[in-house]
Amino acid sequence: MASDTESPPPKLEFIFISFITPGHIIPMVDMARLFASHGVAVIIITTTHNSLIFKNAIDRDIKSGKPIKLHVLPFPFADFGLPESLENMNYVMSPDQNPKLYQATMLPIKPIQQMLLDHIPNCIVPDMFCPWTVDFAVELGIPRIVFQGSSYFLLCAQYSMRHNVPYENVTSDMELFVVPGLQDQVELSRLQLPDHVRTKKVFSAMLDVIRKAELRSFGVLMNSFPELEPSYLYEIATALDTSNHPFIWVICNKEMIDGGDEAWLLNGLKSRVNERDSWRAIDCLAVKQFYNEKLVIQVVMTGVGVGTEKWLSLLEDDGKVVVKKKKIEKAIIRLMDGGDEVKEIRERAKELGRKAKRVVEVGGSSYNDLIGLIDENKKDWDRHFLSEQFKEDERIILTNTDGMDEMMKKFYKTKKEEILARNRDAHGSSTTRE
């Protein structure tokens, strides 16, 4: 019988592992802070200079009593011939620094693994560019939820490009084609596609690794909200439903979609929200530039184009001017001179802003449903891991550690001792299996 003085169950604990670009760091930190505001114990792993981007905000959270903290690692810039403090893509001064910077992100993997071994959380939330974490999460027996800092529209467009390859049916790089399978008529040219889509490159292989890691993960955290792109929620739902694979589908509650109409959810799909404060600024200079441009201009219609015709890789920037000043000037005049078109654009942008604020206010759907998501997942994970505990314990006990490095040998030794101690407490005796 449990004692009246029995200590409360431990908090659900998430560890977030960030990447080296502000466009990834900032929305991930916002997401982590949102979890902490609802009582989830949060640790954010980052590097020394990258931590300065958001340290003040975290310090304020800590002072206000939120269960959040930083785990700061030194960045090995000197080992790769990088200038001191060059720890993210925004400070790259020459193209040759980009591969060095990415290679440098691989060096802290061991310290991160050791930290996770010493302090095993309920869940890890790595950036999508940390696919190595999937094997380690499996090794530790904990779920991995990958942080995907983009939109549903982007994922649908990328999926269409991979599976339909419409750019192979045009006769020139400038000829427009329609992206198949989208709810909106979105047109692109071959020149507007990333070069790793048009031809196989090193980055193409990296994205394949990232996608395979996502498929082995517990889930994906999206940096979007349903009012911004409801049609593409439907696309994701349809794809999941026809995939013939088990899934957990996390969306907004029915009051948020078409005034309560659940018909679009397909038969049997139920909703829980996994939402956050807002959809962040769009990075139209990176991998997703033209997909995001089409979302802004053609789908939600909250901006105008500046006339860019060719995709530009920041990793291979040759210094060429891709948009002439006359085109930029034309776009500025179009926006600033007023008129009915501009009024409609501004009103649509303001309305999206109002919706984004409403869903995270106290009592708002995102506010309430995120709490529900956290509670529901904690119960699901507890049930899942309790049911799987015997099989996992047996696997650990029988694991042969010959050939492993000292860190992993120590980990398995500790885990075996914990299992034997737990069995003694549960059964009043110990059974040693050699």
User: Cβ(141)–Cβ(385) under 8 Å?
Assistant: yes
Q: In 10 A of CB 343, how many CB atoms?
A: 10
CA 125 – CA 15 distance, rounded (Å): 6
CA 322 – CA 326 distance, rounded (Å): 12
| Strand positions, DSSP E, 210-286 | 219-222
Residue type at position 382: D
Which of 244, 341, 323 is closest to 284 using CA atoms?
A: 323
- State the DSSP H helix or E strand holding residue 239, giving kind and residue range, or none if neither: helix 230-242
Which of 345, 325, 322 is closest to 335 using CA atoms?
A: 345
Tokens describing residue 33: 């802070």
6 φ/ψ angles, rounded to the nearest 5 degrees? -60, 135
Tokens describing residue 227: 């009012």
CA 426 – CA 434 distance, rounded (Å): 20
State the Cα angle at 425 between 421 and 429, rounded to 5°.
Answer: 85
Measure CA of the first residue to CA of the last residue in the chain; give whole Å. 34
Residues annotated catalytic, as ranges: 24, 127
Tokens describing residue 39: 């009582």
Q: In 10 A of CB 143, how many CB atoms?
A: 21
What does the radius of gyration of the chain's CA atoms come to, in whole angstroms? Answer: 24
The conformation of residue 144, written as its DSSP 8-state character, comes to B
Place of tokens 């193409």: 204
